[in-house]
């Protein structure tokens, strides 16, 4: 049963980060639920206002896992609370602009929406396999009590962050249906004026296809995992190096 709307406020009311959300309250298959105020997912923190910083400071976040590429972090550095600021751990995840059809399609406009959807599915498959070392480190940090509360984010809080959220929720035993619902919440919170930042794009339709939190995108990550490792549990063990004990320890830490 989904718990998307239950419990404390899931989305933080921040002016400068519209997709800042708590991952608490989701029910696992064993009847326990994910603890509130331990894990947060978000879009970029570069536009946080002073009022936002006061609110975020009150969450006592210890670690921020920034999944953006190095150049993204330089172009849009995160704003942090002035006191007791969290530590930032950069775990850069692609796609790189220079070798991605995503950017080629966006700036040329010479693609169909179906082609853009396929590119997005390919990118999500790449997250799981090519960037397994980054996600393995993310899971190690999530599993440490001294790193919590923890926030992880990318630029829009949808793609790289979406797979990270699915990864931890799946490991905790949250249903696939609920994970996909959490992923789709981005469609409610992403700012619709993002297109104004890219006036040179030839096709707004392709941009909106890219920005959609389409469940097929996330499911492409799952399909890549199944193909490479046989199952999600196999991915955790062989791809990310999580032992049986590590999985149990994570559940003990984040479920109640």
Q: What is the pLDDT of residues 166-187, one digit of tens each?
A: 999 999 999 999 999 999 999 9
Res. 2: pLDDT tops 60: no
Res. 154: pLDDT tops 60: yes
Q: Which CATH class is domain 21-254?
A: alpha beta
Res. 158: pLDDT tops 60: yes
Please tell me the least confidently modeled range out of 6-10, 85-89, 162-166: 6-10
The strand ranges marked E within 95-250 are 150-153
Quick one: CA torsion of 44, 103, 107, 204, rounded to 10 degrees? Answer: -60
Res. 192: pLDDT tops 90: no
Residue 250 contacts by C-beta under 8 Å, 6 or more apart in sequence?
Answer: 139, 142, 143, 168, 171, 172
pLDDT at 202: 65
Res. 194: pLDDT tops 60: no
CA 190 to chain centre: 13
pLDDT per position as a tens digit, 93-111: 987 665 577 777 776 777 8
Mean pLDDT of 152-172: 97
pLDDT band at residue 1 under the 50/70/90 scheme:
very low
Distance CA 239, CA 232 (A): 10
Distance CA 104, CA 19 (A): 27
- Per the model's pLDDT, the better-predicted residue between 204 and 139 turns out to be 139
Quick one: CA torsion of 107, 110, 114, 116, rounded to 10 degrees? Answer: -20
Mean pLDDT, the chain, as a whole number?
91
pLDDT at 251: 98
pLDDT per position as a tens digit, 222-244: 999 999 999 999 999 999 999 99
pLDDT band at residue 207 under the 50/70/90 scheme:
confident
Distance CA 67, CA 89 (A): 9
- Identify the helix (H) or strand (E) that includes residue 41: strand 39-42
Res. 199: pLDDT tops 90: no
Strand, coil or helix: what is 25? coil
pLDDT at 143: 97
Residue 11 contacts by C-beta under 8 Å, 6 or more apart in sequence?
Answer: 19, 20, 21, 22, 185, 189
pLDDT per position as a tens digit, 34-92: 999 999 999 999 999 999 999 999 999 999 999 999 999 999 999 999 988 999 999 99
Contact present, 163 and 54 (Cβ < 8 Å): no
């Amino acid at each position: 049963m989904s718990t998307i709307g239950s419990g404390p406020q899931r989305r933080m009311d921040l002016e400068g980060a519209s997709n800042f959300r708590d991952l608490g309250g989701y029910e696992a298959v064993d009847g326990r639920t994910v603890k509130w105020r331990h894990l947060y997912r978000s879009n970029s923190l570069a536009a946080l206002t002073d009022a936002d910083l006061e609110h975020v400071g009150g969450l006592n976040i210890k670690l921020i896992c920034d999944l953006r590429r190095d150049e993204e972090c330089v172009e849009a550095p995160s704003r942090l609370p002035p006191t007791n600021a969290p530590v930032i751990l950069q775990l850069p995840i692609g796609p790189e602009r220079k070798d991605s059809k995503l950017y080629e399609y966006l700036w040329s406009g010479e693609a169909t929406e179906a082609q853009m959807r396929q590119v997005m599915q390919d990118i999500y498959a790449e997250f799981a396999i090519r960037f397994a070392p980054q996600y393995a480190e993310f899971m190690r940090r999530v599993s440490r009590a001294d790193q919590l509360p923890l926030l992880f984010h990318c630029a829009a809080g949808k793609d790289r962050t979406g797979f990270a959220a699915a990864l931890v929720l799946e490991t905790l035993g949250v249903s696939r249906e609920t994970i996909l619902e959490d992923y789709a919440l981005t469609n409610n919170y992403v700012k619709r004026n993002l297109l104004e930042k890219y006036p040179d794009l030839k096709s707004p339709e392709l941009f909106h296809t890219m920005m959609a939190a389409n469940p097929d995108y996330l499911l492409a990550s799952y399909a890549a995992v199944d193909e490479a490792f046989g199952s999600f549990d196999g991915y955790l063990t062989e791809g990310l190096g999580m032992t049986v004990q590590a999985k149990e320890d994570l559940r003990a830490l984040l479920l109640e």
